Amino acid sequence: MLYTLQDKLNSLIKQYKELKSRATALQTKVDALQAELDALRKENKELEEKLILKKIGETGNQEALKAYIDKIIAEIDQTIKKL
């Protein structure tokens, strides 16, 4: 009976180590995906800003400039709220 319990314990320890290894691998993947997502969000934000500035430059449109400034103010507000 002692051997059976030892075998079960060893099996459980092995399964635990495998699960821990999988969890670590998954966390690494999650971290990489999060970093990629952050980079894509930053790139998207930069592209949006360039597009707005291009629209402002092409048309001299004051409404586009106002929208750009409003967007920046909204981002500042969000940042302040997070703090």
pLDDT, tens digit, 9 for 90 and up, residues 28-75: 999 999 999 999 999 998 998 888 778 777 766 677 778 888 888 998
At 78, the pLDDT band (50, 70, 90 cuts) reads confident
d(CA 31, CA 28): 5
Question: What pLDDT score does 82 carry?
Answer: 80
Largest CA distance in the chain: 86
Tell me, what amino acid is at 13? I
**Could you state, in order of their start, the residue ranges of all structural domains in the chain?**
2-82
Could you tell me the pTM of the whole model?
0.59
Contact indicator for 68, 56 with CB cutoff of 8 Å? yes
